[in-house]
Each structure stands twice: as structure tokens, then as C-alpha cells.
Chain A
Amino acid sequence: MAKYLLLKHYRGAPAPVNDVPMEKWTPEEISAHVQYMNDFAARLEKSGEFVDGQALAPEGTWVRYDGEGRPPVTDGPFAETKDLIAGWMVIDVDSYERALELAGELSAAPGAGGKPIHEWLELRPFLAEPPTVTDCTFHG
């Protein structure tokens, strides 16, 4: 099994195909989208592949230590260009192919007009723990 992080961006990812802000959808389209996301997570829980999912608020702050006795510097000069993560889902799956398949499914969530959003999601493998068996027979 391998863990993957599925990252959803508010900003910083390329624009999706079906790029309409949610408040311009109909209420029914919003409900359909929410239902799709809930069903997706529920299905992963059932299949034993769901680890965690969280959403982040759009507002955040950058902080930096700026020396003894000085207040930390916050919200740096790049506030408008920063990559904004909207949320994540962690999955634990058998293969990279399975992770790709699930990410593709999530990206197909319905949006305006009931059509898939084709949203760009970022798929990142976790760095794993070192294996117990280190003298692998494949390497002689």
C-alpha cells in the first residue's frame, strides 16, 4: 500500500475546463456537486482506501522569524501570487495507477450545467517509512 495526497487548489492550479464560480451555479448543481464529493469519500472509506480529508479556509497568513525581539513578519510580499490550497484528501492505495484513477474521478465532479469541472488536482506520493526487510533478494 502507498499513501498519496490529493491536493485541491483555490488558486495556483491551471484553470479547469468548466470554470464557473460556484455562486453562479444553480442551487441544484451545488447540491449535486456536494453529493458527488460525499459519495466519493464514503466509497473510499468502504473500500478501505480513505485516510483523511480536510478543507482549508481561503484566508491564510505567511509568517517568518525575523530575529530576536522583533515581531514575526507575516503576510509576505507574495500575498497575491501565493498558491492557495483549498483542501486535501489522503488515500492509501495499492498502486500509483489506482491513485491516478481516483484523482481522475474526483476531478470529474459535476459543476455548472451538471457537467464535469475537469479541475486540476495535484497528486503527491508520501515519502514512506523505510521497509523492515532491507536486504532485498532482487538486489542479490
Chain B
Amino acid sequence: MDEALLRSLTPGVLAILVRRGADFAAAEDAVQEALLQAVRVWPADPPRDAKGWLVTVAWHRFLDATRADAARRRREDLVDEEPAPGPAPAVDDTLQLYFLCAHPSLTPASAVALTLRAVGGLTTRQIAEAYLVPEATMAQRISRAKRTVSGVRFDQPGDVATVLRVLYLVFNEGYSGDVDLAAEAIRLTRQLAAAVDHPEAAGLLALMLLHHARRAARTASDGSLVPLAEQDRGRWDTALIAEGVGILQAALARDRLGEFQAQAAIAALHADAPTAEETDWVQIVEWYDELTRLTDNPVVRLNRAVAVGEADGPRAGLTALAALDASLPRHAAVAAYLHERDGDLATAARLYAEAAHKAPNLAERDHLTRQAARLNARRCR
């Protein structure tokens, strides 16, 4: 059975239940149960109409749960109304679910969890594994999130930007487990970009595809990080790059630039270079200037300093870096890199060691320690 297909039906089924009057939290539970039953039943007895099957089973689950809750008179009334057969699924039903799950009243962690379950159709266990927390903790996080949005009207238009931020988090911060969260984020963003006419949704999709294309080349066989300049470009996924570039070009042509399009443009310039030496750093600096104008984010300025160092030489990069707060994450790593390019290996080695000390994860720490070790070994010879 194709689990991805099954999960892709989730938001549409959930939206139909909500349209019929089920409250969001109960409908979401019912859809989860229907999905689990599908996993059990479909291999032996595949339905002719998968979505219709899910709607029927989920609706009955919802009715059973509601009938059991006899004290709730309002719901009892609802049960008596026999719903009309579900209308053809409207695209904006799915869109409304995205808005609801990314509602600004939710914390980012809650919005991520709710999106993965209600829109993505993942089980609580899969989400818990992906974020390295106990299943009971994730179950609580999801049920609190559902309570938080229970009063939100389903037909209110939402802000696409909040949805994009949630999907970006899913792409960027998935850790482990049997679900590939980066691929899941791409699937959900693809679905969103098809449902909404928004250049930034396309920009985010392009950004994800361009980064995903480099994934195999980003780690060596021993698990260590491989920096962009040293990656085997033959291992980049050219089909994903071509798709990302195509989506980005169509988005840029609409002349409504946003931060995801600008980030995707930088990723595309890297993807476009046959070798690291042939990278068009001058254009990359220009895109960082655009990004700074759009976001005024200090992390963007830090990355810009690296690009300036490549375009105009390490001294220029160090000058750009000097204007920035040294407490910024990865500041020491950038300074180390620029000093190394400038030929000051002693300072670079010291800064690499300092950067390793501050590294936010083990892979980066090991990488930075290796850089310090490489320079120290070279200096001793």
C-alpha cells in the first residue's frame, strides 16, 4: 500500500468532516483512526475510492465518539442531521487546514506537530520519534494545540507567511526516526504551492528542492560534514535542481520578491556552478543585499560577510564581519574561515577551536575541531 498516497488524502478528508460540522479536534481524531484502519484493512481489501472510504470510516468514527458523549447535546443534534454526500473536494479546504495548523496563537513547536498530524497524516508516534521526545509528550503537545485552535473559525482566511514559516521549520529541524521530515516538508509545501497563488510558497518550495538536491553530498561516509566547496557536485541531484530552478524563475518573474525567493536564488547560484571556483559570488552578494533589505536579519549579514570574502577577498569579508556582533551564532567559525583565507593560520586555528566550543551540534563541532586540527598540524610541520 502506498502510504504517501494515503497520507496525501488526509487534509481533504479532514476538511470534509469539518465542513459537515464536526469540530476540528474530534474530526482530527476520527481521521487518525480511519488512517490506522486503512493501514490494517487495505492491503487485503483495497477500496475502489480511497478518499470516499476514508471519509465514510472517519465520519462513522466521529459519530460513534459523539454518540458516546451523550451529555453534549449540541453534538447530538448534529448526529441527527444526515449529512449530504461530501461535495467535490475544494482546494481551499486543504488550504484552510494549513492556516489553522499554523495559527499565530500556536507556538512554533505546536504548529509543527499539528501540521504534521492533521495535514501530513503522520501518527503521533512518528512525530515524537522525529523530534526525539516521548510519545506521551507529543500527544499532549498535539492535544493542547487542538484545544488552542478549537475556537478558530474554519473559514477565516489566514496568512500564508505563517504557514511557510512552519513548513520551513519542518524542513530544517527534523532529526531522526523512520520518517524523512525534509521529504515530508517538501510534499506539504508542494501541496500548498499548488493550492495557493503565492510567489513565496513557490520560493520556499524551490529553496527546499535546491537544498535537498545536495543532501547526499553533504555528509561523508563516516557521517562527517562536507562543506559546500568540497562537495562532490556529481552527487547533486540534477533533476531536483532543474525543478527548483524552474519554479524559482517562474516565481521571480512575477516581481513580488520575498525572503524565500531570495534564499532560493542564492541556493540556485551555488547549484549552477560546475565547480566551487566558478561560483558567481558577485551575484550572491547582491542577493544577500536584497535579503538584508527584506529581513534585516543579523544571520543574513553574517552569511553576506562570507560571500563578500569570496567576491572581494578575505580582507573585505573581515571588514564586513567587523561590523557584526561577535556573539552571533557561528561568528567565530566565519572569522576563522576568513582568517585562514587571509593566510593567518594561527588566528584561524584559535578561532576554529573557539567555534567548536560554541558549536550547536556534534557534527558541526567535530567538523570545526578537524579544521583547527588541520591548521595546527600544518603549522607544526
Contacts and interface: CB of A to CB of B under 8 A. Distances in A.
A123 B377 CA distance: 34
A76 interface: no
A130 B130 CA distance: 32
Contacts of A38: 222-223
Contacts of B369: 22-23, 30
B31 interface: no
A43 B362 CA distance: 20
Contacts of A27: 370, 373-374, 377
Contacts of B358: 57, 59
A128 to B, nearest CB: 19
Interface string B338-381: 00000000000100110011111010001001101110110000
Nearest to A31: B222
Nearest to A35: B222
Contacts, number: 43
Interface residues of B, number: 20
A23 B372 contact: yes
A58 interface: yes
A29 B362 CA distance: 17
Determine the main DSSP class of A at the interface with B.
Answer: helix
Contacts of A55: 362
A18 B196 CA distance: 60
B275 interface: no
B143 interface: no
Contacts of B357: 58-59
Contact of B224 (A21, A23, A34): A34
B366 A34 contact: yes
Contacts of A34: 222-224, 366
A26 interface: yes
A26 B222 contact: no
A64 interface: no
A25 interface: yes
Given A34-B224, A38-B223, A26 B373 contact: yes
Nearest to A22: B369
A35 B222 CA distance: 7
B116 to A, nearest CB: 23
Given A30-B366, A58-B357, A59-B358, A22 B223 contact: no
B373 A22 contact: yes
Interface of B: 222-224, 349, 352-353, 356-360, 362, 366, 369-370, 372-374, 376-377
Given A23-B349, A58-B357, 5 more contacts: A24-B373, A25-B373, A34-B222, A38-B222, A59-B357
